[in-house]
Amino acid sequence: MSFMSKWALALVPGLALATPALALNPPNQADLAQPGSVIIFPKFINTPAVSVDGNTMPRTEIEVGAVCPVGAACTEHQAVKVRFHWVCPAVENVGSNICRETDFDVNLSIDGKLAFPADGAVPGTYWVNAPRVPAPPCPRGYLIGWVVNTADLPIKFDGLIGNAVIRNPNLIAGPDAGSSNRALGLFGAADPGGSRPCQWRPHRHHAQWFYGSRAALV
């Protein structure tokens, strides 16, 4: 577990509010139809499983996938590694300058998708192909992830897409059983040096987007 400034948590609602305005910007500023190198799920709920039409399901289900970036040459089953952080709100008057967080990695492949719960349940609890991820250190917060290379350094790879399903308790299946929320994506910026990974400090400065300032709904 690591820690970061609590203002990073404020980044998510700020992005959400700013996104509609970005749709009016020039093409080189934003493209709401494109995947990103960074992906943000603005909300998760880490509470006990719920019953939906008699089936036990996680309260929050995170779905994340990878597609080949526009203009890139990808191979079949190409691996895409994503570094994720569960991020929690700070507790007022108790270390209120920091937010708790837990990090983990997920391995995707091009045109592949994985789903995992936000409660730390072992694979097979809800479905058989879920990767094992740790539980968030809090009942509510947000999830942020970014593509990394084999050295675990952030890179430009505008291929992440995602969705979060947040279910209401004890409801029958159907449109009222929960909500589906598209993830926020941030585009990668070309490395000016041409040989180094994009410069970004994910642990302490989530708002320092050396990746660039463009945001997208992915």
Residue 117: CB atoms within 10 A of its CB come to 24
pLDDT of 102 > 80? The answer is: yes
Please provide residue 7's backbone torsions phi and psi, each rounded to the nearest 5 degrees: -65, -15
Question: pLDDT-based confidence at 90, cuts 50/70/90?
Answer: confident
Nearest Cα to Cα of residue 187 among 35, 33, 63? 35
pLDDT at 80: 97
pLDDT tens digits for 133-151?
A: 999 999 999 999 999 999 9
Any idea what the Cα angle at residue 133 is, between residues 117 and 143, rounded to 5°? 65
Residue 164: CB atoms within 10 A of its CB come to 23
Report how many domains make up the chain.
1
Residue 186: CB atoms within 10 A of its CB come to 23
Q: What is the dihedral of CA 26, 29, 34, 40, to 10 degrees?
A: -140
pLDDT at 47: 93
Mapped onto helix, strand or coil, the DSSP state of residue 18 is helix
Inter-CA distances, 171 with 61, 140, 148, 174, 182, Å: 16, 21, 39, 9, 22
pLDDT tens digits for 10-48?
A: 444 444 433 333 333 444 433 445 799 999 999 999 999
pLDDT at 178: 60
Domain of 36? 2-217
